[in-house]
Chains A and B, each alone.
Chain A
Amino acid sequence: DQQVKQNSPSLSVQEGRISILNCDYTNSMFDYFLWYKKYPAEGPTFLISISSIKDKNEDGRFTVFLNKSAKHLSLHIVPSQPGDSAVYFCAASGLTGFQKLVFGTGTRLLVSP
């Protein structure tokens, strides 16, 4: 039972363009959502998060949008840079307090020069 889904295993974008990574969840009890970036053979790095009381959060080139009615969130990266090439995981929390995150399976982003 995959409660957090990232249906696109990979995404290719040209440098300077927008990257849009998508994530869907099934449980309406989730109330906090996060995005992580992961390079090979390294631990994930926290990027940006959003509470369910908001529909948008922005941090520099990164913006996360939350659509609660659709149970959908997305991460926008503008402009995309080659250094953004990595695997991006979305995660959700709230079912049992903040102790546990449920992760999606990840989307590999490739930004070409």
Chain B
Amino acid sequence: GESVGLHLPTLSVQEGDNSIINCAYSNSASDYFIWYKQESGKGPQFIIDIRSNMDKRQGQRVTVLLNKTVKHLSLQIAATQPGDSAVYFCAENIPRHKLIFGSGTRLLVRP
């Protein structure tokens, strides 16, 4: 299938460890943020989101942290599994409906 993530930064983690993926966003007016997971040959899939009036949001095995002061977003994955191997993108909602994606990080999980 289509190869995603050839030139993207790569994070390699041991199965069972925690993963932290970082993202810098561009627009201080952005009011909503989303993390997506993309597997090879597929479209992006929603993982978790956070609004700009929050600092942290937790889901099942995933946590998103938002630091508006430095325009930084992170995705933490607990107990990383082989099925978590994929490319991860953050996206920011710029007011007036634009949804802009960051450059992405490839996560490799070592057995």
Is chain B a partner of chain A in the same complex? no
